[in-house]
Homo-oligomer: A and B are copies of this chain.
Amino acid sequence: MQGFIPPFKTDPINRQVILSRRPMGSPVAADFARRDAQVPSPGEGMFLVRNLYLAADPVQRGWAANPALTPLGEPMRALSVGVVLDSRDSGIRPGDIVYGFLGWQDYKVATRADLLSHIEKPLAPLSAYAGVLGMPGVTAWLALGDIAPPYDGAGMLVSTAAGTVGSVVGQIAHRAGAYVVGLTGNDDKVKLCLADYGYDAAYNYKSVDLASVLAEARPEGFDIYFDNTGGPILDTAIRAMARHGRIVHCGTAATPSWSPPPTGLRNEREILMRALTCGGFVIFDHVARFPEAIERLTDMVLAGELKFHDHVEAGIDRISGSLEALFADSNAPKTLVYIGED
């Protein structure tokens, strides 16, 4: 696929989705507006990217709230996959695929500091580089490796098990020989966990008594919990851990707002008595490790060990609604928006 450049319009405009209003809590579509701008030209050491896939990610809640990260009137800070059209950086060539902080817009003049990955030879569908081979997949790979490597026979629990991170966690754990139990929020996702994502068992946490289900699923307790939710699921999971177990704190999807500070069960005694190790993971601490992680994940994809289902829609006007849906509906699929055909 290297060197392929789609036939874009000869007299293009740069369609942008800008932040027009600072969100109150979770962002909604009405916080954004469309604007047309000129296509910029790259200066020395820079390159011009035509974005192909725009992503809507939970992390954008924080980016939209932070004037230093997303000034009002500027394109929304976002991770996108694009193709390089023109380059004045000798290490980046036209036709190369890139993934990084390219914003909700058609065109971006970027430098390497904006990139999370630079794919000279794409081996998977380009959308995958924003998903299983992008931030979510790399998060799963590195968070597991750093905090709680799965191993043969380990009892492993994963929340938002069918999500973009959880689905990769399940398959990495399965490959390592762990007994993997997934928690998700609807029955279709339970089926997907069992069919495609490597889970030995999966439950819709909304329709079961979670403490009983976990005690039955793993009477000896879980050795690893990969937590994408926090909240009451975390409280229950901690109390289902085996001694000397490990917890990866990777997401807090269960808590819609941290202001005012929410309360819950005190968990320090469980951590102490069970001699647990708990680690927080922030993917942006690990930007330099993306290439290596993507290489490993690509190996798994090519070996048929890593399945993924990208939900792709087309049309730049859909992106802000996709972000709103992420926060409004816990069962909304994570959507990528393709903007190469317009």
CB neighbours of A279 from chain B (8 A): 271, 275-278
A185 at the interface (CB under 8 A from B): no
A83 neighbours in B (Cβ, 8 Å): none
Instruction: Report if A8 contacts B (CB, 8 A).
Output: no
Contact with B along A271-298 (1 / 0, CB 8 A): 1111111111110010000000000000
**Whole-angstrom distance between the alpha carbons of A301 and B278 in the complex?**
33
Q: Tell me what chain A mostly uses at the interface: helix, strand, loop, or mixed.
A: mixed
Residue A145 lies at the interface, judged by CB distance under 8 Å to chain B? no
CA distance A287 to B240 in the complex (A): 25
Contact A230 B269 (CB under 8 A): yes
A90 part of interface (Cβ distance < 8 Å): no
Answer yes or no: A263 CB below 8 A from chain B CBs: yes
- Encode A248-278 as 1/0 by CB contact (under 8 A) with B: 0111100100100111111111111111111
Known: A249-B271, A273-B280. 18 other contacts (CB 8 A): A230-B269, A231-B266, A250-B272, A252-B269, A252-B272, A255-B266, A255-B269, A261-B265, A264-B264, A264-B266, A271-B278, A271-B280, A275-B279, A275-B281, A275-B282, A276-B278, A277-B278, A277-B280
